[in-house]
Amino acid sequence: MSEIDVVILAAGKGSRMKDNFPKPLHEVAGLPILEWVCRAVRKIEPHKIIAVQSASEDFASYVDETVVQAQQLGSADALQAAFSKVDAEKILVINGDMPLVTGDVLADLVAKGEGFDAAVLTTSLKHPFGYGRIIPVGQRNVVEQIVEEKDATDDQRQIQLINSGIYLFRTEYIKRTISQVTANNAQKEFYLTDALPGARIVQADDWRDLLGVNDQKQLADANQVARKRINEQLMANGVSMIDPQSTYIDANVVVGAGTVIKPGTVIERDSVIGADNEIGPYAHLRENTVTGTDVHIGNFVETKNAEIGAHTHIGHLTYVGDARIGESVNIGAGTIFVNYDGKNKHITKVGDHAFIGSNTKLIAPVDIAREAITAAGSTITADVAEHAMGIARQRQTNKPEFWDRLPHEDFAQTYREKKRQENQAPDES
Ligand code: UD1
Ligand code: CA
């Protein structure tokens, strides 16, 4: 097969996002949209990947080469900016706002576009608003014209066949044709779609693969689809989820078989969760949380940069940051790993079988040895040796006959009665 250069169009202003943040760097399931696009295009083993960027962004770390489009004059102008870097026989062009695209759908375009000057990926959408519509030549799989939403007549807006923004071109053909594109349209832009008449139409099987992100709603939709795919993949590999809809797992996360994930759980970035864990409900496992087998992390526990050994329990209301925790450790409710001094992060180590009493503060850097104990309610600032117990709290004193010195409120009046009074008697003063 002939060699293909990929051009990712990513210089647009993203103005419909209304948020002053580069659209290609918005995250979907923990990865920038641009990274999703790059992962998909790498599957067709391109000769090289070129990103077209604006003068204010630099996407060099994602791709092989970048080129700046000086002014945002439209998608045809953007592709033209990349021509100086293209030397393969074919070009696959893709909008840089398509996080759900897969290698399979791109490979299909490459296969079915073979022998044509141009080919375009398409699908039918029930709600095609915003997309360019493809008008075919009669009943054939050939483009007569692509009309943008803003240029379309009411009749054309009824068309459900949309332009995905993914094209395959013979390089020689598109270099020759693109110079004929004019900006004679509603947006006064050079539309790449005006170079598409005559192109082969290639239908995608799953319309979701072709969803573009132009506004915040579409970003949320893309996240939902990506997360559903991630969860289904994990379940296929033996992970149990009580409620997949309320389980938020990033693309790079690994979860071992037999692990049960309970509702409201978030697992982020490059976390690696072992087999047979029980996670959640309402656990927040942030970047680089690594657990052994049979770990239990319960409700309202947040972890970050934490290694947690096999059979360890962290049941409730706890923050674990920059921690190296051994095997079969018990971390009591309300424990805080105090890792941050305002400038630097410090590490806390907890050895195998250690017992951390409830409401312990572990002020890092600090080492709790194996089979060591901290007494509940302690603020631990010094290392605790093997088999020792660290206790660091005030002794209790009781003040007798204190009751009458405390002001009391009458709780007999119900909340509803109070509300009724508030809402019926406006303040006249
Ligand atoms: C584009 C297509 C539309 C298609 C839709 C699919 C055109 C004219 N229209 O519309 O038919 O249905 O994608 O999602 O192409 N860009 C630049 N420089 C520019 C303008 C755009 O690099 O001067 C880039 C953008 O960053 C974006 C891509 O080109 O990645 C498409 O631009 P966008 O404004 O998102 O076009 P759509 O209106 O979505
Ligand atoms: Ca778009």
Which pLDDT belongs to residue 421?
87
Could you tell me if the CB of 123 is within 6 A of ligand 1? no
Could you tell me if the CB of 78 is within 6 A of ligand 1? yes
Average pLDDT of the segment spanning 241-262: 98
Task: Return all residues near 234 (Cβ < 8 A) that are at least 6 apart.
Answer: 241, 249, 255
Distance (Å) from CA 246 to ligand 2 centroid: 28
Asked whether residue 409 carries a pLDDT value surpassing 80, the answer given is no
Average pLDDT of the segment spanning 81-97: 98
Which pLDDT belongs to residue 428?
63
Could you tell me if the CB of 222 is within 6 A of ligand 1? no
Which pLDDT belongs to residue 66?
98
Asked whether residue 116 carries a pLDDT value surpassing 60, the answer given is yes
Could you tell me if the CB of 132 is within 6 A of ligand 1? yes
Which pLDDT belongs to residue 414?
81
Ligand closest in space to the Cα of 15: 1
Task: Return all residues near 90 (Cβ < 8 A) that are at least 6 apart.
Answer: 2, 3, 4, 5, 110, 168, 169, 170, 171
Closest by CA position to 297, among listed 347, 259, 270: 259
Average pLDDT of the segment spanning 188-193: 97
Could you tell me if the CB of 148 is within 6 A of ligand 1? yes
When comparing pLDDT for 429 and 52, which is higher?
Answer: 52
Average pLDDT of the segment spanning 309-324: 98
Does the bond joining 365 to the residue before it have cis omega, within 30 degrees of 0?
yes
Which pLDDT belongs to residue 427?
64
Distance (Å) from CA 171 to ligand 2 centroid: 23
Q: How many CB atoms lie within 10 A of CB 240?
A: 14
Buried b (16+ CB within 10 A) or exposed e, 17-38: beeeebbbbbbbbbbbbbbbbb
Ligand 1 nearest atom to the CA of residue 52, by list position = 22
Q: What is the identity of the amino acid at 111? A: A
Spot the catalytic one: 47, 127, 284, 316: 316
Average pLDDT of the segment spanning 316-343: 98
Ligand 1 nearest atom to the CA of residue 148, by list position = 11
CA distances from 55 to 58, 59, 61, 358, 408 (A): 8, 11, 16, 54, 66
Which pLDDT belongs to residue 429?
59
Which pLDDT belongs to residue 110?
98
Distance (Å) from CA 118 to ligand 1 centroid: 18
Q: How many CB atoms lie within 10 A of CB 213?
A: 26
In angstroms and rounded to an integer, the radius of gyration of the C-alpha atoms of the chain is 29
Q: Provide the 8-state DSSP code for 345.
A: B
The residue to which tokens 């509940």 are assigned: 376
Q: How many CB atoms lie within 10 A of CB 245?
A: 11
Average pLDDT of the segment spanning 43-63: 98
Confidence of residue 321 (pLDDT cuts 50, 70, 90): very high
Query: What percentage of the chain has pLDDT greater than the value 90?
Result: 93
Asked whether residue 395 carries a pLDDT value surpassing 60, the answer given is yes
Cα distance between the two ends of the chain: 85
Q: In angstroms, rounded to a whole number, what is the distance separating the alpha carbons of residues 287 and 157?
A: 44
Asked whether residue 1 carries a pLDDT value surpassing 60, the answer given is no
Confidence of residue 416 (pLDDT cuts 50, 70, 90): confident
Asked whether residue 426 carries a pLDDT value surpassing 80, the answer given is no
Angle at 355 between CA 372 and CA 382, to 5 degrees: 50
Could you tell me if the CB of 52 is within 6 A of ligand 1? yes
Buried b (16+ CB within 10 A) or exposed e, 92-112: bbbbbbbbbbbeebbebbbeb
Ligand closest in space to the Cα of 213: 2
Asked whether residue 82 carries a pLDDT value surpassing 70, the answer given is yes
Is 315 within 8 Å of 339 (Cβ atoms)?
no
The residue to which tokens 């897969």 are assigned: 102
Nearest residue (by CA) to ligand 1, atom 19, is: 74
Average pLDDT of the segment spanning 133-153: 97
Is 316 tagged catalytic? yes
Nearest residue (by CA) to ligand 1, atom 1, is: 165
Confidence of residue 285 (pLDDT cuts 50, 70, 90): very high
Distance (Å) from CA 15 to ligand 1 centroid: 12
